[in-house]
Amino acid sequence: MKNTNSRKLGLEVIGEVPWGTHLCSFYDSINDYFDIIKPYFKTGLENNEFCLWVIPKDLEQEKAFEILQTAIPNLDYYQRKRQIEILSHSECYLNKGRFDGDAVITNLRKMLDKALSAGFDGLRGEGDLSWLGTNRWRAFKDYEFELGNTMFNKKFLTVCSYPLKKIGAKEIIDVIENHQYALIKRNEKWIYAKSFIDMVDKLLEIQSHIKGENIELIKQGAAKDTFFNISSHEIKTPLTSIKGYTQMLIKEQLGTINEQQKKALEILKRNTDFLEHLTNNYLSLAQLQAGTMKFMVEKIPIKSLIKDTMDIICPLADSKKIKIDVRLTEGLPPLNIDADKIKQVLINIIGNAIKFSPEGALININVKKKNEYILFEIQDYGLGIPKNEHEKIFEMFFQSESIRNKNIKGTGLGLPISKTIVEAYGGQIWVDSKIGKGSTFSFTLPINLVKEIKINLVK
Ligand code: ADP
């Protein structure tokens, strides 16, 4: 059966996309711009879609029509059928010279309804942003975000085209954040990047879907086939390569870069680290649920465990000017653990401490021997957690009421996964916290190898 949700884009670089896809393209010259426009609209018109084209600021409507006609000789016919509308930027985006994102979205919704009731399959749009100046950047970024939400699940496709000459590295990242695909021409070939944020969104989407509808199924272990089939290889291999190349670019191993490029790459690196951390938690959950998580046991010196963790976490702390003070008792014995798993626990806890602390705060990490165990303590002076939630925060998908309105990102996976890992190695994990004063997360790991690794996934 034909999948009616999937549409041909008409572009060589991306074949089909589902309705609701929000793309962006970065172009250098007007020829590059038309590289996308011509096949994009040709395919839309041939596939019974209503086409809305918001043309570049410096292009007259008549001229735009003529250029498009070179690729679509019967463009007149489609125009008579009222299947294509060509607007100037001010007709589409401005109202008496003012940009009002909500009004634009309302208009687009109306256009979509009209297109559907006229018998078209949906709306295919393209908007050129050569008119957009820095003064309207914020408002437009919010509009792009809302547009993505509005289009979701609707018979709507759109490409937002940004001229590279008018935007800098920061703006490029803003744009990529709000689109599912970013098209760019490199060495005479169009390539696309599927944005990192999209990957995060996809994961969050899967999570919230599961949270809302399938939570019972998860408890029964029956959702394995959907969510848990994500292959770690498919996600981690590209991430590792992105990280590796970003690092090489920052270190100027591939040529010199300027300050602005360096800043953009550092943001990219932080986002990739965050995504990797998130992915690790999702994959751990998948493997724990499917019973395929491997717990290796190796003798690991605590010093190197902490150093490796710090290498990952310090850029995140630096971005909030947070100081981390590590105290390690001398002469601690090595641990019999899987270093990657315990690093994941530490990153989850220290990452939270950073996330819930104000800028410039201090975080203390203490590692010492306590009886037959090594005790790790991570203390922050951040938001704190109300007493009635001290146990709940270790439950799957739990997020405190107190942070819901604070626009703090999270998944509610870090602590339950950490608890499952620590307990599998025969340790314990707990929190001591006062609202407004801060929190201390502690966990223990036995010095002697546990006889049997028991996995009890926290529910
Ligand atoms: P999340 O991805 O939401 O941080 P976690 O499982 O790591 O998921 O944490 C669950 C919840 O516990 C958080 O949403 C937050 O409410 C609370 N929490 C965890 N660590 C801290 C902390 N250091 N300070 C304040 N609250 C915290």
Q: Do the Cβ atoms of 333 and 292 come closer than 8 Å?
A: no
60, containing H or E segment: none
Instruction: Tell me which of 203, 393, 396, 402 to substitute to probe ligand 1's pocket, judged by most ligand atoms within 8 Å of the beta carbon.
Output: 393
Structure-token pair, residue 407: 């626009």
pTM confidence score: 0.53
**Phi then psi dihedrals of residue 41, to 5 deg:** -75, -35
Distance 440 CA to ligand 1 centre (A): 12
Answer yes or no: is the C-beta of 353 below 6 A from any ligand 1 atom.
yes
Return the ligand 1 atom nearest residue 438 CA: 24
Hey, whose CA ends up nearest to atom 9 of ligand 1? 412
Judge whether 40 and 190 are in contact, CB under 8 Å.
no
DSSP assignment, residue 293? -
Q: Which atom of ligand 1 is nearest to the CA of 402?
A: 16
Q: Distance between CA atoms of 122 and 112, rounded to whole angstroms? A: 7
The ligand 1 atom nearest the CA atom of 413: 6
pLDDT in tens, the chain (459 residues): 344 678 999 998 888 888 998 999 988 889 999 999 999 999 999 999 999 999 999 999 999 999 999 999 999 999 999 999 999 999 999 988 899 999 999 999 999 999 999 999 999 999 999 999 888 888 999 999 889 888 877 899 999 999 988 887 678 777 877 888 888 876 677 877 665 444 445 444 544 554 454 445 444 554 444 444 445 556 666 777 788 788 888 888 888 888 888 888 887 887 787 778 777 777 777 777 767 777 778 889 999 999 989 988 888 898 899 999 999 999 999 998 889 899 999 999 999 999 999 999 999 999 999 999 999 999 999 999 999 999 999 998 887 776 666 667 777 889 999 999 999 888 999 999 999 999 999 999 999 876 666 666 665
Of all protein residues, whose CA lies closest to atom 4 belonging to ligand 1? 410
3-state secondary structure of 413: coil
Which residue's CA lies nearest to atom 14 of ligand 1?
399
